[in-house]
Chains A and B, each alone.
Chain A
Amino acid sequence: MTSRWWPRSLFGRILLVMALGLALAHALTFVLAFTERSMTMRRAMVSYFASDVASSVAMLERLPATERAQWVDRLARRNYRFALAEPLDAPADPSQLARLVGSAVASTLPADRPVQVIDPHVPGIELRLQLRLADGTPLAVDMDEPRLQISPWVLGALALQLALLVGLCAWAVRAATRPLSTLADAADAADALGADRPTVPLAEDGPREVVRAAVAFNHMQQRIQAHLQERMQILAAVSHDLQTPITRLRLRADLLDDTTLRDKLHADLAEMQSLVEEGIAYARSSQAVREPPQRVDLRALVESIARDYADAGLPVQVLQAVDVTCDTRPQALRRLLCNLVDNALKFAGAAELTLEAERPGQCLVRVIDHGPGIPPADLAAVLQPYVRLEDSRNRGTGGTGLGLAIASELAKALGGRLVLGPRADGAQGLEARVELPEALPA
């Protein structure tokens, strides 16, 4: 079933099967009705033919032999003609029609008259009936091919009927398959589902089965969201509650007189603290939607971020920036870009920023570095929380593996997305693209 005539869509497939079936059923009905009608007509025709032949034979026998020739033509009918011709020496035609005609004619004539039906192999003549008059004069009756006329309007009516049925089928199949594509669209949209992002429920109306599917889908969406929320709450609670014991440990360490031990404890505690802080930041990243949106001068934002890093002595610069404002959440966007810059600084030591108006209604901020980049197979994985690539782990760069996950969550909360990939200019390094809508979705 992989022929190119086999439609890809369910709609196309069902419609094709139904249309073919209807056309077939129609054709069969038509052929049956036609055959039945032609058989009836043939019977009527043969019996009329036999009696006509009998009366013609009787009339010809009465006529003087000299006058017969001129009367023969007058006896001709629309689809058979009489001729005073010598019989052809041919075997009897074995067809059913020939036998039917032969026996019908023979039964109307006196029993001693042999009747022979042959195929004369003359174009336009289906059968030839050969007999002899009472005085032995040969007589031939040439029969045309029997034609059953079909009026053009019958074919037209049939085509119209078929078209009407196929049209209704298309409507019915569309009604059945449309909820499927609506469901698929909703499932696609649920991709952006987040712990704090509102779900977009499916409309629960239409036929019973569709309503059931929509209700079930909406419940599933809610369960997924509840699950995401729970996950975030657990992470937030654990991270938050760890802050108190960490604070106590730090204070205890401060009270130690052994400075070597104290410094080691402080280093461990600092690492724990950064894990806790990133955990909290990730758990709260979806709450970014709560920040009220504002008109933001993106160029000023991108430049101020770069200058803050530059003022701290870190090599971050803006390569190009267009003047563009967009409706967004400035604090979330700043955190998002800072996470990407931090990541670039960690793995490449430097970062470059660009701001472009990619197409109407969308802005693009790129954070580019000259680091080792990320293998294409791992690009999606590094956006997941707590995923670190093997070689980066071995570099002892620290970090929790949450920076990019937080950035990705924030991008979703801003109605945009974060895409990681190789640099557009082909050089080695990572390019993080932040695509932002100019206006936040409602």
Chain B
Amino acid sequence: MTTPAPDHILIVDDDAGIRELAAEYLQRQGLQVSVAADGRQMREVLATQRIDLLVLDLMLPGTDGIALCRELRSPGAPPLPIIMLTARSDEADRILGLELGADDYLTKPFAARELLARIHAVLRRTRMLPPNLAKAEPARHLTFGDWRLDTTARHLLDATGAVVALSGAEYRLLRVLLDHPQRILTRDQLLQLTQGRDADVFDRSIDLLVSRVRQRLGDGARGSRYIKTVRNEGYVFCADVQTAAAVAGAAP
């Protein structure tokens, strides 16, 4: 971590101990760090300095982290990667924060090393993408055939609106297929793409996983409506996928 121009991180947290300690650790790791105690101080720093990444606490006095996140993601605002800090108990807030476009989150209490790793991962990811295309999770629902995939609750909804739960691995596989419809994905690709950030020990074969997802979708291996097997190559998701933001009324 000895680049000529170190990345500049801004930590926004109302607890002095946490922001100073985190700052000290990150500085020891070669990053440049500024701190702010609330939204007002944050705006001052952002106005005067170039910041590469924001570490934002959700629970702030005055304007809370959710509102700040929304403000920073409003149209016209410069792209700025955001990692949210949340308490374990604020699950609903965390989901909202991710929907508003935070790049990642970390639950308190966190290990300093974990924070550093997330910072590097987010910086790497956002720099690989063209500006303003920072990956977020804009779509609440992915609709295909008779089914809807709820990307927040991570389950399927059938034609009647009943919840059909998916295991973590099943969800990730289906999500990858839905994100790349009409494209042949090899088993290796699927294996890599389904090993998400929080991947479990994932030693089951992709074929077993595909058959389970098909079973959930009421889809046979032959005459398959959704996931087709391409011999010697892999799998292709062959139905149309529509994305829909959270629709009031349709949302559970």
Residues of A at the B interface (CB closer than 8 Å) are: 236, 239-240, 243-252, 254-255, 266, 269, 273, 276-277, 280, 284, 292, 294-297, 300-301, 303-305, 307-308, 311-313, 325, 330-331, 334
Contact = CB atoms under 8 A, between A and B. Distances in A.
B158 interface: yes
Contacts, number: 114
Given A236-B89, A245-B17, A330-B163, 17 more contacts: A240-B89, A243-B88, A243-B89, A244-B15, A244-B108, A246-B109, A247-B110, A248-B21, A251-B18, A251-B21, A254-B113, A277-B89, A284-B89, A295-B161, A307-B212, A311-B204, A330-B155
Contacts of B158: 297
Which 3 residue pairs of A and B lie closest in terms of their CB atoms, listed nearest first? A254-B112, A295-B162, A251-B21
B148 to A, nearest CB: 12
B170 A255 contact: no
B154 to A, nearest CB: 10
A296 B25 CA distance: 46
A76 B67 CA distance: 122
B55 to A, nearest CB: 12
B89 A297 contact: no
Contact of B200 (A280, A297, A308, A331): A308
Nearest to A283: B89
B87 A240 contact: yes
Main secondary structure of the interface of A (DSSP, over half): helix
B133 interface: no
A254 B165 contact: no
B88 A248 contact: no
B112 A250 contact: yes
Contacts of A325: 162
Counting chain B CB atoms within 10 Å of each CB, the highest count among A249, A280, A311, A325 belongs to: A311
Contacts of A249: 109
B216 interface: yes
A92 B170 CA distance: 117
Contacts of A239: 89
A434 B103 CA distance: 38
Interface of B: 15, 17-18, 21-22, 24-25, 28, 87-89, 108-113, 153, 155-156, 158, 160-170, 200-202, 204, 212, 216, 252
A297 B164 contact: yes
Contacts of B160: 295
A255 B88 contact: no
Nearest to A242: B109
B87 A304 contact: no
Given A308-B168, A330-B155, A251 B112 contact: yes
B109 A254 contact: no
B109 A247 contact: yes
A282 to B, nearest CB: 11
A330 to B, nearest CB: 5
B18 A294 contact: no
Nearest to A331: B153
A305 B154 CA distance: 13
A296 B165 contact: yes
A307 B202 CA distance: 11
A426 B164 CA distance: 34
Contact of B169 (A244, A305, A311, A313): A311
Contacts of B204: 311
Contacts of A300: 156, 163-166, 216
A312 B201 contact: yes
A239 B109 CA distance: 12
Counting chain B CB atoms within 10 Å of each CB, the highest count among A251, A255, A307 belongs to: A251
A228 B165 CA distance: 33
Contacts of B166: 300, 304
Contacts of B22: 251
